[in-house]
């Protein structure tokens, strides 16, 4: 199932559970400045893209698997994630927790947890990503990622992953059109589907965030 939404022209978002791959090394480079979190616009004003996937497992099993380190694979157009480095105290699981995210192309970003909710009916995990250094995200001011997991049947879980993007000020109409058509319309949805369709490796072992 796939659903695309384009809302607003001044907003962007990108993020997901960016967890370190096992054994990866990641740390901020010399001179790195941990800038304040950006002010986030109303979510319905942002450009957004949503990908969904149904997993033939109960919600409880899917939530346990979500606590494992996720490998973020690169696609032909966008880099994956090679590791993370905590910028705040404690595990990455409480609102306000922040981490530095290393990408497979040598670029990086910063991510902070905005909301986490969980019950027998489902779960919601929302985060913001900013300070992108990849040229692929040159038009992005920040991105808000969100996972929502629900259970439509006892042995099935629906995973809905949304990214909402805020664009940088001063972009021309041509630049905005290119971003919507190429990045938001093709490249980023493909990157999201690659992650949602990925099967867990037997080598994946539970690790706290």
- Indicate the domain borders of the chain: 2-22+45-197
Q: For 138-151, what is each residue's pLDDT tens digit?
A: 999 999 999 999 99
Domain 2-22+45-197 indexed as CATH 3.40.50.2000: no
* 99 has a pLDDT exceeding 50: yes
Q: Which of 69-78, 121-130, 131-140 shows the lowest per-residue confidence on average (mean pLDDT)?
A: 69-78
Question: From CA 68, how far away is CA 171, in angstroms rounded?
Answer: 39
* 131 has a pLDDT exceeding 80: yes
Sheet holding 81-86, edge to edge: 2-5, 47-55, 156-167, 140-153, 122-130, 108-119, 98-103, 81-86
């Amino acid at each position: 199932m796939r659903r695309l939404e384009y809302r607003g022209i001044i907003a962007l978002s990108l993020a997901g559970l960016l967890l370190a791959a096992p054994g990866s090394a990641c740390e901020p480079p010399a001179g790195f400045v941990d800038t304040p979190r950006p002010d986030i616009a109303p979510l319905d004003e942002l450009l957004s893209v949503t990908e969904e996937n149904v997993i033939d497992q109960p919600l409880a099993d899917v939530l346990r698997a979500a606590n494992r380190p996720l490998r973020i694979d690169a696609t032909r157009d966008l880099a994956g994630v090679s590791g993370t480095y905590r910028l705040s105290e404690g595990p990455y699981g409480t609102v306000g927790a922040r981490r530095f995210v290393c990408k497979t192309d040598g670029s990086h970003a910063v991510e902070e947890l905005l909301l986490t909710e969980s019950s027998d009916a489902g779960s919601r995990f929302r985060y913001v990503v900013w300070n992108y250094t990849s040229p692929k995200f040159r038009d992005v001011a920040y991105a808000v990622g969100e996972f929502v997991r629900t259970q439509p049947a006892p042995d099935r879980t629906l995973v809905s992953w949304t990214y909402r993007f805020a664009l940088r000020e001063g972009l021309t109409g041509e630049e905005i059109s290119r971003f919507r058509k190429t990045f938001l319309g093709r490249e980023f949805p493909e990157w999201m589907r690659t992650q949602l369709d990925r099967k867990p490796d037997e080598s994946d072992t539970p690790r706290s965030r």
